[in-house]
Amino acid sequence: MTTLPRTRPRRRRLVSRNTVAGWSFILPNFVGFAVFTLLPVVVLFYVAFTNWNVFGVAEWTGTANFRRMWDDSSFWTALRNTVYYTVFHIPLTLAAALGLALLLNRKLRGVRFFRTVAFFPYITSIVAIAIVWNQLFSPEYGPINALLGAVGVDDAPGWTTSSTWSMPSVIIVGTWRYMGYYMLLFLAGLQTIPAQLYEAAETDGASAWQRFVHVTVPGLRHTTFFVTVLLTIESFKVFDLILVMTGGGPGQSTLVLSQYIYQKGFEENQFGYASAVSIVLFAICFGITVIQFMVNKRRNS
């Protein structure tokens, strides 16, 4: 009875002291984070409902931007192309990264060297990568078509100069760049699978494929989930690689959502309309991540 009134103020003092301490640690970073990330995200939902232009004169226009978007064929092209990129980039990168990780998880000579090599594209700038690949893809004199010609392909594709092949070109380069990064995540995941599981499976006479399906795949569940979330966001926001490689062309064959936002916003100064398109990108990335988390949670329980 006598202790209660004494501990309560002490507890409260501790809480308030901790609050001051906690906030003073977080504050220096939080100020920058709030002003340059959180605030813009909030403001986005205001600007998208206005006709904000370069002079900063904004009128509330309600859903006008979204109604305009509905009839905007360029917007739908950009959305379709983004989905095109995503649908191929995710499974290709996932397969390549997992394949490389499985290969590197074995006791082979030169594994360390190879890990360095595989990670190298990821730390190289997009601009340099796009420039080199454009030379490699050069339809008439480039080494890729020369190699294709050497193995007997007569009508080699025009790659970035052809509207049918421009998107596959970009997907190839995107996969090439990111597979090393996701390989590292898979490697880290593989190392958490206990070796005894493999040994037990082997004494039970499981084949390599059965071991993969029944030990490796379940053991990598969490990693695969996380990689898929990251890959989804990364695919939907694809921009700089395409901007430098093809500029969205030829025609609109590689125009993606991010680039359309950039065009409308920074080239045509239609900040309001560009923000409305941004909300679509935001909703897709955020929505898919939330759905993926929910599905993962249900599968776990």
Restricting to residues 205-264, which ones interact with other proteins according to CB under 8 A? 205, 222-223, 225-227, 229, 233, 236-237, 239-240, 243-244, 257-258, 261-262
Residue with Cβ nearer other proteins (2 or 267): 267
Question: At its nearest, how many Å lie between other proteins and the CB of residue 8?
Answer: 16
Considering only CA atoms, which of 265, 261, 292 is closest in space to residue 279? 261
Please state, in angstroms and rounded to a whole number, the distance separating the CA atoms of residues 21 and 222: 34
Please state, in angstroms and rounded to a whole number, the distance separating the CA atoms of residues 135 and 216: 39
Please state, in angstroms and rounded to a whole number, the distance separating the CA atoms of residues 170 and 161: 12
Instruction: Kindly tell me the sign of the dihedral angle through the C-alpha atoms of 292, 121, 251, 94.
Output: negative
Restricting to residues 77-106, which ones interact with other proteins according to CB under 8 A? 100, 103, 106
The encoded tokens of residue 242 equal: 């395409």
Question: At its nearest, how many Å lie between other proteins and the CB of residue 264?
Answer: 9
Question: At its nearest, how many Å lie between other proteins and the CB of residue 1?
Answer: 28
CB atoms within 10 A of CB 254: 28
Which range in 62-70, 155-163, 211-219, 279-287 contacts other proteins by CB under 8 A? 279-287
Burial of residue 191, with CB atoms counted within 10 A of its CB: 0-12 exposed, 13-18 middle, 19 or more buried: exposed
Which range in 67-75, 136-144, 159-167, 213-221 contacts other proteins by CB under 8 A? 136-144
Does 136 bind other proteins (CB under 8 A)? Our answer is yes
The encoded tokens of residue 19 equal: 């609050």
Among 62, 63, 76, 117, contact with other proteins (rule: CB under 8 A): 117
Q: How many angstroms separate the first and last alpha carbons of the chain?
A: 44
Among 64, 77, 90, 114, contact with other proteins (rule: CB under 8 A): 114
The 11-50 contact track toward other proteins, x by CB under 8 A, reads: ----x--xx-xxxxxxxxxxxxx-xxxxxxx-xx--x---
